[in-house]
Structure 1
Amino acid sequence: MVTCYHCGEECDKTMLVHHDKNFCCFGCKTVFDILNDHELSYYYDLEKTPGTTPQQHKEKFDFLKNEEIVTKLLEFNENGTQVISLLIPAIHCSSCIWILENLNKLNSAVKTSQVNFPQKKVRITFSSEDMTLQELVMLLARIGYKPYISLDDANKEETNTDRSLIYKLGVAGFAFGNIMFLSFPEYFEVNEFWLVRFRHIFRWLMLIFAIPVVTYAAQDYFISAYKGLRSRILNIDVPIALGISVLFIRSTVEILMDWGTGFFDSMAGLVFFLLLGKFFQQKTYAFLSFERDYKSYFPIAVTRLNRVKEAKIIEEQAQVYELKKGNRLLIRNSELIPVDSILIKGNALIDYSFVTGEAEPIAKKSGDQLFAGGRQQAGAIEIEVLKPVEQSYLTQLWSNEVFNKNKESTYESLTNNISKRFTITVLVIALIATLYWLFIDFTLALQVFTAVLIVACPCAIALAAPFTLGNLLRIFGRNQLYSKDSMVIEQMAHIDTIVFDKTGTLTTSAKNVITYEGIVLTEKEQSLLTSTLRASNHPLSRSLYAILDKSNISTLDDFTEKVGDGITGVCNNHQIKVGSYGFVTSQKERGNLKAQSRTTVHISTNDEYKGCYIFYNEYRNSVQEVFDKLKVTAKIVILSGDHNGEKKHLTHILPEDTTILFNQKPKDKLTYIKKQQEQGRKVLMIGDGLNDAGALAQSNVGISVSENVNIFSPACDGILDAARFQDIPVFLSISRKGICIIKYAFIFSVFYNGIGLGYAITGNLAPVIAAILMPLSSISIVVFTTISTYFIGKKLNKKQIL
């Protein structure tokens, strides 16, 4: 097997030998020459076969001639210097980083370039006097690093990074450390030196450090508690705010009255650990987009045809938002149709798989309607706009009310649920203990009341969930499941119904299973078939050509292709037809065949029907194993936009009681999930394309399976790298174990609170005991949750179910 020196692909179709190295195409050879001529061949020393095969990009980036569009894309444009950040999906290794950061050696107009590897972006500073943005993008495309530029990029708004949590965490940490340091003499009862000179100074310094902790660092907890009480809801922030308030007020009174040091160290430590947990919870994967809409998939601009005097037609690059009804557009091969339109000229072969889930391209003739989101696959076509982009079919996928639904508001978190009971219990105990001491010793009543609220502050409960779920977020991310937030993991733990899309989710787009039914072809017929398929660019032709023997390829005497029907090849007076059944046979034979529900390619030689190749999508590795594990804890459903041609094939790998529904439109999928939820079921939807967007948003948890996590993923709660599909049961199992860890942490919290309450109720809560108990409970919860999540996370590497 010969592989390409540049990209590592098999040289099955062509093999070019250049400088004693093998290349699969002229594109890879050209990139090698570019790097070699500029003395950048070190690129190949860093990684073996690091490159990607460059594609043809003629006229692909014509929209970058439009100054208005360029201005929106640029980050900086002044005095002949321009700066832009571009998403490069092909970035994958150290060679990629090295070559992209050495672009100035390929073109001196590039001043600097810096790669952000996690985000797969490169920030380039270049001279606008020596190079245009289009030329820069074409340079990247020529060396195999084509940027991904979408309509969303041209309409992005300036966003200010919210650093308030970091500032609050810094204030709380600084105060906590200093207050602990100032409290050491009190802890160790260093009476001589402490008592004589510095006791009052240290205590007042503690008060000064504590004030910004309460007024600034902890303000979110007070605001949340106030809003909760105003809405008659006892959330977890109510007892936290009450505990912080009591700690601060009692400590301030002790210092003002010179009674003691107070509990400022415990208060600052509590706030610091709470904010640290929130920081872990919020530190998700900012380079992923979980809220994508149609703007993420549409091109920035398209070619608009304008008719001027003397019937002359000029081409111009127009922004998609400027398109109006009646405009004529030129859609080239492989370009996306951005608006609902009518086909005017050309052979249209439209791939709607990204919208409908139907894998087979559809042929259209002049006068037929084309919907937004389809991709042209058979040369250039001319279309006329029916509706502007905001009113097109694809945008309607986001008009459903489900996309405006906040999933968190419909799910009562485990922490808030427990905090209601905890808050009421603590307040009842505090009141009963206070009433008791009012009759026994009036002077101790207030001390007991505040002591109970201090020691029973639910710090461990508040820390358990954010630290556990925050750790799991990072563990999932390292294993290519990128969750939107911690609420997703809580919801995953309660899933009892799992709905899968088929095409692109259970199947991989890279391979097909192809079988042949019919009369065995002779050696000459096989050679003619291979030679004919080689001349076609149709996806099914390419897939079939890839599996056939290529040893006897000959030059055809004649080749014709009828878009949507098939191809014809002639060699040495022998004719072969490849395509639909109606194309390769006579009208009479066509009537005798039952309607085909499978994806097939039929063959006839010299007008004699031979048989057909049947295409089955190849299912991802371990699909059957995944289903066998999932069926133990959940109901499994398959919703597919494809026809039912593969139903028999699919039932062999699915559990017996699996529900399988075909011909499901986007709205059908959404409706099915909604009905399941109305029956009280918790639904996990796993899909891929835009046709799954509504279902992903409606479900309790929506996960998008993606071959490239940085690009095509609809609005969802999580993005799963397709390579980790087999780990779906493990992710669900770890989610359930994560909830168990939180519950165990609650038990530990109750244990600590029980010990502290014993001291508080009896009036024996000394400052040193509170100073030890409260930080110890917080630290122990952090350590326990961190270690526990680490051990259950290791199961992902072992590919085991807990």
Structure 2
Amino acid sequence: MSSSTCYHCGDVCDNNEVLFDSKRFCCNGCKSVYQILIDGGLDSFYEMESNPGISPHETSGKFDFLENQEVVQKLLDFDEGGVQVIQLHIPNMHCSSCIWVLENLGKLHIAIKSSQVDFPKKQARFTYDKENLSLKELALLLSTIGYEPVITLEDYSKTSKTTNNSLIYKLGVAGFAFGNVMLLSFPEYFEVEEFWLDRYKLFFRWLMFAFSLPVVFYAAQDYFKSAFKGLKSSVLNIDVPIALGILTLFVRSTVDIVFDLGSGFFDSLTGLVFFLLVGRFFQQKTYAHLSFERDYKSYFPIAITRIVDENEETIEIHKINRGDRILVRNQEIIPVDAILLKGYAQVDYSFVTGESEPLKRKLGDKLFAGGRQIGGVLELEVLKSVSQSYLTQLWSNKAFSKNKASSFQTLTDALSKRFTLAVLTIAFLATGFWLWHDPSKALNVFTAVLIIACPCAIALAAPFTLGNVLRIFGRFKFYVKDTNTLERLARIQTIVFDKTGTLTSNNGSAITYEGMQLTEEEKVLLKTTLRGSNHPLSRELYGILKSNQIETLDEFVERTGKGLEGKLGEHSVKIGSAAYVGNSDYNSLETTVHVAADENYKGRFVFKSQFRNGIVNLLQNLRQNYSVAILSGDNKGEKNKLAQLLPFQLPMLFEQKPEDKLEFIESLQRKAKVLMVGDGLNDAGALAQSDVGVAVAENVNVFSPASDAILEASKLNQLASFLAIARQSIKVIKACFLLSLGYNLIGLYFAVTGQLQPVIAAILMPLSSISIVVLATLTTNILGRKLATKT
């Protein structure tokens, strides 16, 4: 067979076959793709599976329209600093080999910086250097290796809603074959001997064999591929016993009809595959539903400042419309494509491109969504409304994510290998016994064991349970990145809180000024400088200062953990700690912000912090199950105030710089799993270092890629309830596992003792999966109702 099929795509080679490198290709196109992949160092593409490639199509002139720059600009997601980003629909990708070659496209062309594949949507996102590669050349490169992109201008700006119908086709084939094989099996079921024996027995049996072929070699192919790849990687995945059961049924049934030993088990075989695919289809539909809810129902609780008639108002980010004027402060994410109207733009696009060098932009330039402003405040005019699904992609971007999931073993991963090994051991031992005791039952026992112990229920338990919990958490404004984060959240042992902006509220603090009177010019400069900062104390102070005049600063600097500096003309102002503004002799136990104008110390603002409602009860509840600590950059006077507020003692560290917080988290992680709760500003390093980092958001664009979850500030007092539900969700998964185990043990008893026919096992197996899904859904909904009563 290998001598007559194409080494690249697997198609049959005709008289025009091409010989190259001692291999046969069906055409010059496949030979060229092979040569490109080998020369590009992607030869391991052919080791993943046999004939994984796609034959390229002729594309001469097809992408000439991409030479028009107006067209290209409508298609691009990003175009700054010589880097372009685009998301392309590639319908030809069909397997893990396709994903692998597309995500390694940078080896074929040095200008391609990164590529990320969204396999369910058949989309890939490419970041490339436009000086060395044009969009047309990228499209031609993809077409050359068999992954021609589909580009349409009419609806390309909308979210592509492509559907992978292969599962539906396979389900249809399996259902059609199952129904017909069952009908053809009736004569033997009812022992219609005369009619059966005399005329049509042989014909019906071979007809059942014919119906089973597309079921085994088409409808069930994903199970064989998954099992083969697992074994090739020395991994016993959960598809191994499924594939082995299908193969055993098919071989046994074929042997039966060839040697006239019986009609075989084609009804069981087609029924098994059909019910497996029904379960997979149901699972896919549920995942799509959960994904929809998480992508489009206010995924990020972030707000933006909109300017209306020279007044500033804070609005939810999804309410921004084309033509609005918005304010973007230092360290804020630019949430939309916009035109720069005022301010000095220095934008860090590393979240989008991976390049950390900030780009300077002048008035009238276009700024793209996803950049972070570094420096003073900007005023922008919105070009299009925000796409929260785009921000979702940023949150998952590999450019700045610390892959905490890679070192974390999920519950399903931990059990699947042991389960598969146990099932195979039982199957072989039972078969060995029956070969010695009664060989006629050996194959039936082997088949029944593999089917009855199908691990589908185990595979479904965690995704359905955790997926539902993610949806419930999102409804109550606690946005968790993924199910892996949820499992890590359930294993937390120590919780560390930041104080300012986390335990304390940005609203309601009493602020008094002590010192020399500020002139009107100094007040204007002070408020204008504060306008560019997102620090909680800066925002509070900015809100109370009485000055309607806002200027555009010549210079703005914010030094994390120290303070701010603004310059306008010949005058300057410094705002921050006493040491930062030049009053190093000052020592106080109060929370203060000091001010110096033109290098002359003027005075200080004293803050009486207002703690959030329910914080004492929250800390009290958390102490029952966790070790709790508090970190703060404030002075030690706040420690005494907090100690008086709490009726119990907690470890509290004050005067902590951002690097001190990170080191403290590292020290705790040597003994326990750590949850860090902060405001996402000075705590970014600690959030990224912790096992789970939660950013608390309150009327501010605090989108923090360092975090694993975002919690709306008003829901902070419910954190103990969220953590309790995370732990209970793991108990639900374990209960599902126990239910599945009980079912398997009962079924295995009858299978091992030779009392269970494979067809009965094939019917019972999907019922087990359905019961797991029902149990997971009902219990998580009950947890959701309990959470609703507490909020």
Name which of 474, 491, 496 aligns with 2:493.
496
- Cα 1:595–1:780 change in 2 (3 A) is closer
Q: Secondary structure at the match of 1:715?
A: coil
Corresponding residue of 1:265:
271
Q: Answer yes or no: is 1:421 the counterpart of 2:418.
A: yes
> Partner residue of 1:513?
509
3-state SS of 1:704 partner: strand
CA drift of 1:676 comes to 1.8
Structure 1, 639-648 or 782-791: larger mean CA deviation: 639-648
8 Å contact 2:340–2:378 — kept in the other structure? no
The residue type equivalent to 1:174 in the other structure is G
Establish whether residue 737 from structure 1 lines up as the match of residue 728 from structure 2. Answer: yes
Q: Secondary structure at the match of 2:676?
A: strand
The whole-number CA distance in structure 1 between the counterparts of 2:495 and 2:726 is 15
Determine if the alignment matches structure 1 residue 758 to structure 2 residue 758.
Answer: no
1:326 Cα deviation (Å)?
A: 14
Counterpart for residue 479 of structure 1: 476
Match of 1:626 in 2: 618
Q: CA deviation at 1:649?
A: 3.0
Q: How many residues align?
A: 556
Residues 536, 542 of structure 1: 8 Å contact kept: no
The answer to whether the 8 A contact 1:687-1:696 is kept is yes
1:705–1:720 Cα contact (<8 Å) kept: yes
- Give the 3 Å change call, closer, same or farther, for CA 259–543 of structure 1 in structure 2: closer
The one-letter amino acid of 1:794's match is R
Contact 1:533 1:545 (8 Å CA) reproduced = no
- Please report the RMSD computed on the Cα atoms of aligned residues, expressed in angstroms: 6.0
SS at match of 1:770: helix
- Shift in Å at residue 623 of structure 1? 2.1
Question: Could you tell me how far 1:212 is from its partner in structure 2?
Answer: 5.5
Does the residue aligned with 2:500 lie in a helix, a strand or coil? Answer: coil
Q: Report 1:71-110 matches (<5 A).
A: 74-75=74-75
Report the equivalent of 1:599.
592
Mapped contact 2:666–2:689 kept (Cα < 8 A): yes
Find 1:636's aligned residue among 625, 628, 633.
628
Give the corresponding residue for 1:369. none
Residues 488, 701 of structure 1: 8 Å contact kept: yes
Q: Is the 8 A contact 2:679 2:702 kept in 1?
A: no
Contact 2:174-2:219 at 8 Å conserved across structures: no
> 1:465 and 1:251 mapped to 2: Cα distance?
35
- Tell me which amino acid in the other structure corresponds to 2:619: F
Partner of 1:167: 165
1:376 paired to 2:376 = yes
The code of the aligned residue for 1:723 comes to S
Deviations 1:378-434 (A, max 9, x none): 99xxxxxxxxxxxxxxxxxx9xx9956432221122122223332232223222222
Q: Given the superposition, is the C-alpha separation of residues 598 and 767 from structure 1 closer, same or farther in structure 2, using an over 3 Å criterion?
A: closer
Aligned match of 2:738:
747
Kept in 2, the 8 Å contact 1:597–1:643? The answer is yes
Q: Post-superposition shift, 1:533?
A: 9.6
Counterpart in the other structure of 1:700: 691
- How many Å apart are 1:494 and its aligned residue? 0.9
Q: Note closer, same or farther for the CA distance 1:202–1:794 as it changes in structure 2 (3 Å cut).
A: farther
Q: Does the aligned pair in 1 maintain the 2:693–2:708 contact within 8 Å? A: yes
Percent of aligned pairs sharing the same letter? 38
- Is the 8 Å Cα contact of residues 500 and 687 (structure 1) preserved in structure 2? yes
Letter in 2 for 1:751: G
2:712 to 716, 721, 727: 721
- Aligned with 2:675: secondary structure? strand
Counterparts of 1:482 and 1:182 in 2: how far apart (Å)?
48
Distance (Å, rounded) in 2 between the aligned partners of 1:712 and 1:274: 35
Contact 1:182–1:202 (Cα < 8 Å) also in 2: no
8 Å contact 1:533–1:541 — kept in the other structure?
no
* Alpha-carbon separation, structure 2, partners of 1:326 and 1:431: 61
Give 1:620 deviation, angstroms. Answer: 3.1
- Taking the aligned partners of 1:181 and 1:708, their CA distance within structure 2 comes to 59
| 1:234 Cα offset (Å) | 3.7
Report the CA distance between 1:637 and its aligned residue.
2.4
Is the Cα contact below 8 Å between 1:172 and 1:272 reproduced in 2? no
Asked if the contact 1:623/1:653 (under 8 Å) is kept, the reply is: no
Tell me the distance in 2 between the aligned counterparts of 1:779 and 1:329.
57
Cα pair 2:444 2:757 within 8 Å, conserved: no
C-alpha deviation, 1:513, in angstroms: 1.0
- 5+ residue gaps in structure 1? 1-67, 78-83, 86-156, 306-314, 339-354, 356-371, 380-397, 520-524, 557-562, 567-577, 604-608
Q: Which amino acid aligns with 2:484?
A: M
Please report how far the alpha carbon of residue 797 of structure 1 lies from its aligned counterpart in structure 2 after TM superposition: 0.8
Residue 646 (1) aligns with residue 638 (2):
yes
Superposed displacement of residue 473, structure 1 = 2.2
Deviation at 1:518, TM superposition (A): 8.9
Residue correspondence of structure 1 range 236-635 to structure 2 within 5 A = 236-247=238-249, 249-250=251-252, 258-260=263-265, 261-274=267-280, 276-277=282-283, 280=286, 283-284=290-291, 285-286=294-295, 375-376=375-376, 405-509=402-506, 511-514=507-510, 539=530, 594-595=587-588, 598-599=591-592, 614-635=606-627
Q: TM (normalized to structure 2)?
A: 0.56
Aligned to 2:660: 668
Tell me how far 1:714 sits from its aligned partner.
1.9
Change (3 A) 1:758 1:414: same
8 Å CA contact 1:708–1:721 kept in 2: the answer is: no
For residues 625 and 723 of structure 1, what CA distance do their matches in structure 2 show?
A: 14
Map Cα deviations across residues 738-796 of structure 1 (whole Å, 9 max, x no partner). 11111111111122112221221122222442133212211111111111111112122
- The letter of the residue matching 2:510 is I
CA distance in 2, matches of 1:248, 1:755: 25
| SS of residue in 2 equivalent to 1:495 | coil
Change (3 A) 1:215 1:452: closer
Distance 1:683 1:602, change over 3 A: closer
Q: Mark the runs of 5 or more structure 2 residues left unpaired by the alignment.
A: 1-67, 78-84, 87-155, 302-330, 380-394, 531-536, 550-555, 557-563, 567-573, 597-601
- State the secondary structure of the residue aligned to 2:625: coil
Q: CA 1:694/1:327 → structure 2, altered by over 3 Å: closer, same or farther?
A: closer
Q: What amino acid is aligned across from residue 276 of structure 2 in structure 1?
A: L
Q: TM (normalized to structure 1)?
A: 0.56
Alignment of 1:111-122 (within 5 A): none
AA at the equivalent of 1:777: S
Contact 1:498 1:634 in 2 (8 A): yes
CA offsets per residue over residues 351-385 of structure 1, 9 Å max, x none?
xxxx9xxxxxxxxxxxxxxxx96543699xxxxxx
Within 1, Cα distance between the matches of 2:690 and 2:414? 22
